[in-house]
Structure 1
Amino acid sequence: MPTLWRSALHLVSFFVLAQWMGLTAAVAETPLPLSTEAQAAPSETPIPLADSRLNSLDQILHYSNERLPNNPSIGQVTSISQLRDVQPTDWAFQSLQSLVERYGCIAGYPDGTYRGNRAMTRFEFAAGVNACLDRINELIAAATANALTREDLLVIQRLQEEFAAELATLRGRVDALEARTAELEANQFSTTTKLFGEVDFGIVDSFGRSQDTNTTLGGRAILSLDTSFTGRDLLRTKFEAGNFVNFTRDITGTDMTAHDFGTNASTFFISSLFYRFPIGSRSTAYIIPVGLAAHDMTATLSPVTAAQSAFAQRNPIYRQSDGGGAGVDFRFSDAVSLTLAYHGPPSSISNPLPGQGLFNGYHAAFGQLTFLPSDRFGLALTYIRYYSPGPNEPGQINLTGGTGSQFAQAPFGDETATSAHSVGIQSSFRLTRGMVLGGWAGYSRARAETSPGFGVSRGDTADVWNWAVGLAFPDLGRAGNELGFMFGMPPRAAGNDVRNRVDRDVSYHIEAFYRLHITDNIWIAPAAYVILNPEHNNNNDPIYMGLVRTHFNF
């Protein structure tokens, strides 16, 4: 057999085998995710990008992206040295070198890369086959008239018969993928947006000698639209409605009894609207017109994830910084990050009247330095500068986010413009695979910025403290389950220049809960907690809270 045609046959057979193996691997492997994000998804839960329902759509988007005008074109390579990401130590280096320099049958990208570790698309397969066929035509043109013999034809026929089954299998897989693609393209909700839903049912009641409440049944529904334009950014629009009446001051006499899933709106409203996008490879920026709190952008390091009371969820000073605004999260390394944010309630930052707006109304400047040296230990240092104009926003002065005593929430009353410097420390330590210990402490130095009378003078100060410790047993009985306990002191006005607005005694919060995963989409969380000496007053009887929350997600 002539050397020329022997080389050509070797070239074709080697290329078909290599390309067939690469394409079948691309079809069989797990599809590429649409987005690299995992951050907080609707209502503080991660976005389930690995959900099998999304696999087909992700495949479509991945292959569709190959058709975009900005996809780099492929250029012919004549020397292996032109491919800067191919090294002599690579296992396929010699084969690739032969295809490039001996046969001239390999194409690379204009940026000088070969990208040998990624799956091959059908466009790239076509480009490679075309390069080989061009090379064969050159060999034929350069050969003598009688170069093609019967022996050569028999070899070609034998190669076709040998790979007939594999080619048929490949053809079937491609046809099946095209059918799935056509069906999903005809029925998909959007090429850029995913819809997520959550529903909560809850039974809640309070008990105690001072309580005269009835057992309530409530519900809440959340619909979230997550849109990504580049695969790395996220535009979230979250709608919420429900009839969960929270057990707060108007019902129990204190906000210390509040749970963390109250929504009392009969029609859907936008509870969160923000756009998150990367800055470089490690940092993320946020633009927030509505409803994204500081704790959504950074780690709170609470030892428990399934606590049902508002106080046990996180350090109350985080609740000073929420609403609309902007923020950025700088990742200096995998272990160290710095989060900065500026927040104000939508009713204030969107109001152009005097004493309102983005900078003159209610606002909070937030900063946190987080250390996560390992998956077992974390430490966070937090600072918040808070301001509320008071008289222009009655009821908006709330240093504790509705978790402490009335004196701690508004040390100088609702009619006094109030500022505060708050600091917090949070830590969590995984003792064993199934046990996590952690807690926090928070301190706020409040200052009266006006003198409305009632014994309050401008420059008066107050000290507000809170702390908590928690113990959790994650994955107890099943992955996703959690048994947890929390004990702490809700925010307390420990000192105040206004003598009649200081908490003389100490309240304690004790909570136990268990989150039980029924399926991947349903969990039930019974919880009970007690407030000893409510409102930091020993004369008040304990208040006992009991609830059962059932959560559905889809």
Structure 2
Amino acid sequence: MLKYLLASASWMGFLCLIAGLSPVQALPSLEIADKNVAVNQEDGSYQKNDSHQSDLANNISSESLIANESPKKLSSVNQQQKIQDIGVDSAVNLWQPIIPQSASSSSTSYKLAQVTSVSQLSDVQPTDWAFQALQSLVERYGCIAGYPNQTYRGNRAITRYEFAAGLNACLDRINELIATATGDLVKKEDLATLQKLQEQFAAELATLRGRVDAVEARTAELEANQFSTTTKLNGEVIIAGVGASGGAPNNSGSNIILVNRVRLNLTTSFTGKDSLITGLQGYNFLGGADGQGSLQQSLGLTSRLLSASSARTSFEPQFPGINVNTLLGVGANSVQVYKLLYIFPVANKLTLFGGTAAETSDAFPAITPFYGEGQESISRFGGLNPVVRISGGTSGTGLASAAGFIFNISPNLDLRALYGNPNANLTQKSATEAVPGTGVSTTPLGAGLFSGSSVIATQLTFKPSPAFDIGLNYAHSYHEINILGTGLISGDIDALAGVATGTPVTLNSVGGTVTWRLSPKIALSGYGAALFVDAASNNVNASTTFTSWMAGVHFRDLFKSGNTAGILFGQPLYRTDTGGSAQLTPTGDNRATPYHLEAYYRLQVSDNISITPGAFVLFNPEGNSNNDTTTVGVLRTTFTF
């Protein structure tokens, strides 16, 4: 397998070389200058406007949601925060929307570079005649009346260029007075002083005006060529080689595969404070109703329906190749709407959101720094607490219609909650069974906004100190069929082992995630989760408890600025207790505690290209010691624009 991965690495390196030589230059990711969204930081922190993503994880802040995925973008919703990175993943962490600045901001921005007070600057001394002459002009004609402190006094020196900026402001003001027929207000001695100042600072004034002209020309060019005055476009392309060994005994084995995922995200603002997020995607992962063609199926580790497995990578959808709402097939690389969400503030500390294609991870900040489908952890296990993934909460396809709120209690504490339903657009549940005798309908998740499968989820996020980020999660779910909806293990299907797949279940799930930054470049992070599953049918008495945990260390700027790495270890979801007719160990399995060990290193080749080699090892995969130790190797290349 190693030689094939090396061959893939060479191929990906050649691809990056082509990208670097291409005459087409991608625009750099837009920074969130408007401070309207919050992101998960690269080190996993949840804090105000610093810089990082999600998969549109990374995540809504108090005045705008956002999306899983790219690390330096959009992921949380708060007008004073970055939506991160998201989470988009955001890339594209779609959930890091950028609200366009007002039209007036570009035309006046150069004025902000002018000095606001002589006391702030240096070079021209307060005792110089020029300093005192300009100060007198400023006070007499109000040259800086529009500045915050409305003064131009001070006792410190300023640079000649900064002095020229103030002089230029006075020239403009006096020209304005003369042009408006109030020239008699300008004294002749002041005009003489201005002429003398102009002569002495001619070089600096010429340079300053040249810079302003260049900025105005560049602004005009950007306005003429921008995608839209109200909409920002960003995207993410992931191309990866994946190989695996091990799996179930006597499995057919897995070839090296080459997969892709492409996302385009449009973020529109109508008021400057709201965000309408529209995401399109295409991918070539296979799976379908029976997992056919998936890596997990070739290893013999997948569930018998929908290809759930612990061998899944971070960037593949939970239900590849199928529309789980109707069990209809989805063609490879067909374009789908995977995100449609509107976020709007209704009060200083309260933001509402709603949409027909959303995920739990869009609303909840990812506390762990390992989250980032296109940038960080290479496995589905490493990115998020399982409680966030429950009920298809991170399906990768915008499975649910959802609505909720974000209450920014304080700068270090906020509360978020949502209600989601995957089949809100269906009027009736189909009476046709997908597989005769199973009780599973061809609309397995039910129908209607307030009936069928649904989830109510909440997260309390707080920072007790600058070094700590903590998230506490609770989710209550009802499922029309016997399924967890996490996509993390094969036991996701038939969660109540020994109970019919068509049996409805209720779940109460709790979890917590903590990140502790030992230094700006090193962070410890981990999570714990417990899922309590009960049969929701009067004819069945059964219950099961699943637990999971993870701990790891994350590195920033490792060996080179911009590069990151992670090492993590933990226990995937595992049945620890059962009651009633539910089985603790499914028939044919040899019960054993499963473990997951992972390491990856992300090389930031350029602002828009990163390459992540990594691997994860599964011990006792799917909690069954009959399965061989399984190794999955990944070489992921991510392009963002």
Match of 2:367 among 296, 301, 305: 301
Greater strand fraction, Structure 1 or Structure 2: 1
Is 2:574 aligned against 1:489?
A: no
Q: Which region of structure 1 is more displaced relative to structure 2, 199-208 or 442-451?
A: 442-451
Query: Percent identity at matched positions?
Result: 34
Is 2:426 aligned against 1:388?
A: no
Q: Cα gap change, 1:215/1:319 in structure 2, threshold over 3 Å: closer, same or farther?
A: same
Residue pairs, 1:221-236, within 5 angstroms:
221-236=262-277
Contact 1:303-1:439 at 8 Å conserved across structures: no
Contact 1:330-1:337 at 8 Å conserved across structures: yes
Q: Cα gap change, 1:123/1:155 in structure 2, threshold over 3 Å: closer, same or farther?
A: closer
Name the counterpart of 1:353. 428
Q: Cα gap change, 1:241/1:179 in structure 2, threshold over 3 Å: closer, same or farther?
A: same
Name the counterpart of 2:381. 311
Is 2:377 aligned against 1:377?
A: no
Match of 2:285 among 244, 249, 252: 244
Name the counterpart of 1:6. none
Name the counterpart of 2:333. 266
User: Following the alignment from structure 1 to structure 2, what is the Cα–Cα distance between the partners of residues 153 and 489?
Assistant: 79
SS of the residue aligned with 1:256? coil
User: Following the alignment from structure 1 to structure 2, what is the Cα–Cα distance between the partners of residues 195 and 536?
Assistant: 43
SS of the residue aligned with 1:248? helix
Q: Cα gap change, 1:409/1:38 in structure 2, threshold over 3 Å: closer, same or farther?
A: farther
Following superposition, the deviation at residue 190 of structure 1 comes to 1.0
SS of the residue aligned with 2:518? strand
Name the counterpart of 2:613. 526
TM-score, normalised with respect to structure 2: 0.64
SS of the residue aligned with 1:175? helix
Aligned AA (1:37) = V
Is 2:505 aligned against 1:418?
A: yes
SS of the residue aligned with 1:358? coil
Match of 2:454 among 363, 368, 392: 363
User: Following the alignment from structure 1 to structure 2, what is the Cα–Cα distance between the partners of residues 205 and 153?
Assistant: 78
Residue pairs, 1:412-491, within 5 angstroms:
412-451=499-538, 457-491=539-573
RCO comparison, higher one (Cα < 8 Å, 6+): 2
SS of the residue aligned with 2:562? coil
Name the counterpart of 1:327. 404
User: Following the alignment from structure 1 to structure 2, what is the Cα–Cα distance between the partners of residues 115 and 447?
Assistant: 67
Residue pairs, 1:23-102, within 5 angstroms:
33-34=33-34, 36-39=36-39, 40=54, 41=56, 43-46=68-71, 48=73, 61-63=103-105
Per-residue displacement from partner, 1:207-228 (whole Å, max 9, x unpaired)? 1254411111112211111223
Residue pairs, 1:168-247, within 5 angstroms:
168-208=206-246, 210-211=250-251, 212-245=253-286, 246-247=294-295
Name the counterpart of 1:288. 355
Match of 1:406 among 491, 494, 504: 491
Is 2:595 aligned against 1:508?
A: yes
Contact 1:105-1:135 at 8 Å conserved across structures: no
Contact 1:442-1:465 at 8 Å conserved across structures: yes
Following superposition, the deviation at residue 269 of structure 1 comes to 0.8
Q: Which region of structure 1 is more displaced relative to structure 2, 217-226 or 470-479?
A: 470-479
Aligned AA (1:352) = T
Following superposition, the deviation at residue 257 of structure 1 comes to 0.8
User: Following the alignment from structure 2 to structure 1, what is the Cα–Cα distance between the partners of residues 634 and 141?
Assistant: 72
Aligned AA (2:533) = A
Contact 1:232-1:277 at 8 Å conserved across structures: yes
User: Following the alignment from structure 1 to structure 2, what is the Cα–Cα distance between the partners of residues 343 and 45?
Assistant: 25
User: Following the alignment from structure 1 to structure 2, what is the Cα–Cα distance between the partners of residues 32 and 222?
Assistant: 20
Aligned AA (2:103) = L
User: Following the alignment from structure 2 to structure 1, what is the Cα–Cα distance between the partners of residues 490 and 599?
Assistant: 22
Contact 1:317-1:400 at 8 Å conserved across structures: no
Gaps of 5+ in 1: 1-29, 52-56, 68-85, 141-146, 391-396, 452-456
User: Following the alignment from structure 2 to structure 1, what is the Cα–Cα distance between the partners of residues 199 and 581?
Assistant: 96
Contact 1:365-1:385 at 8 Å conserved across structures: yes
Contact 1:60-1:181 at 8 Å conserved across structures: no
Following superposition, the deviation at residue 509 of structure 1 comes to 1.6
Contact 1:244-1:261 at 8 Å conserved across structures: no
User: Following the alignment from structure 1 to structure 2, what is the Cα–Cα distance between the partners of residues 177 and 426?
Assistant: 45
Name the counterpart of 2:420. 343
Per-residue displacement from partner, 1:420-442 (whole Å, max 9, x unpaired)? 11111211212334332221111
User: Following the alignment from structure 1 to structure 2, what is the Cα–Cα distance between the partners of residues 66 and 435?
Assistant: 41
Per-residue displacement from partner, 1:18-62 (whole Å, max 9, x unpaired)? xxxxxxxxxxxx9993563343545322564999xxxxx988834
Aligned AA (1:243) = N
Greater helix fraction, Structure 1 or Structure 2: 1
Tell me the C-alpha RMSD between the 2 structures: 4.1
Larger radius of gyration, structure 1 or 2?
1
Contact 2:100-2:230 at 8 Å conserved across structures: no
Aligned AA (1:403) = L
SS of the residue aligned with 2:334? strand
Q: Cα gap change, 1:301/1:186 in structure 2, threshold over 3 Å: closer, same or farther?
A: closer
Aligned AA (2:449) = L
Contact 2:542-2:582 at 8 Å conserved across structures: no
Contact 1:327-1:339 at 8 Å conserved across structures: yes
Q: Cα gap change, 1:66/1:467 in structure 2, threshold over 3 Å: closer, same or farther?
A: same
Gaps of 5+ in 2: 1-29, 40-53, 57-66, 75-81, 86-98, 110-115, 127-131, 153-164, 287-293, 303-308, 322-331, 394-399, 430-445, 586-590
